[in-house]
């Protein structure tokens, strides 16, 4: 079966730990070493492509900003449309939005009103599942527009943060788990 465990281990080894970024106490998982390596970037994209190429899906939704990188490539290979889910104020046209709570304060995600049509099947992609707040809001946004979230997909899941709990009973795929 593809992807082989050893491929995923290679990807995992290349994700760089950056302590205290963007603030003290956070161990940031930096995926850019994967992006700069042609083989590894292709491998990461292939992991998602292999998983979804035999599923009926209409669109890939990408979460701002590192999700864009993987989702764009996956949508291209699968031949489906790409939806951008962005932080408030970045999208130029009419938007729909969803608010969600952070540890301190709250945030808003937006999507263009015409990105998702009713009953379209959507895969949501981001690089890292951490607390799940962002991914949960992205899923709410797609559903608010009438779309169906087929699965939420991540390259890496920080399992100790229990992000899955904020995603309800929606299907979740994480290629790599940390620790």
Q: Which residues of the chain form contacts with ligand AMP (CB under 6 A)?
A: 26-29, 63, 66, 126-135, 158, 163
Q: Is residue 97 left, alpha or beta, with left meaning phi > 0 and alpha meaning psi from -120 to 50?
A: beta
The reply to whether 42 belongs to the active site is no
Minimum CB–partner distance for residue 91 and ligand AMP (Å): 17
- CB nearer ligand AMP, residue 120 or residue 127: 127
> Smallest distance, Å, CB 83 to ligand AMP?
15
Q: At what angle do helices 5-14 and 38-52 cross, to 10 degrees?
A: 130
Q: Is the dihedral of CA 109, 90, 96, 85 positive or negative?
A: negative
Rounded Cα distance between 45 and 47, Å, is 5
Q: How far is the CB of 132 from ligand AMP (least distance, A)?
A: 5
- The answer to whether residues 61 and 124 touch, using CB atoms and an 8 Å cutoff, is yes
Which residue in 42, 50, 66, 151 is the catalytic one?
Answer: 66
To the query of whether residue 66 is one of the catalytic residues in this protein, the response is yes
For ligand AMP, which is the closer residue by CB, 59 or 86?
86
Which residues are tagged catalytic? Answer: 66, 103
């Amino acid at each position: 079966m593809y992807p082989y465990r050893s491929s995923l281990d290679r990807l995992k080894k290349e994700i760089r730990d950056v302590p205290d970024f963007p603030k003290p106490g956070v161990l940031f998982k930096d995926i850019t070493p994967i992006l700069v390596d042609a083989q590894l970037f292709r491998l990461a994209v292939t992991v998602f492509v292999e998983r979804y190429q035999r599923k009926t899906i209409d669109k890939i939704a990408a979460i701002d900003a590192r999700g864009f990188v993987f989702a764009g490539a996956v949508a291209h290979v699968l031949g489906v449309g790409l939806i951008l889910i962005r932080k408030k104020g970045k999208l130029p046209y009419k938007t729909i939005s969803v608010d969600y709570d952070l540890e301190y304060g709250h945030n808003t995600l937006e999507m263009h009103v015409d990105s998702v049509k009713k009953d379209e099947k959507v895969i949501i992609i981001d690089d890292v599942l951490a607390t799940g707040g962002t991914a949960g809001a992205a899923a709410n946004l797609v559903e608010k527009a009438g779309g169906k979230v087929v699965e939420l997909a991540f390259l890496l899941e920080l399992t100790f943060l229990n992000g899955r709990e904020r995603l309800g009973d929606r299907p979740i795929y994480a290629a790599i788990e940390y620790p």
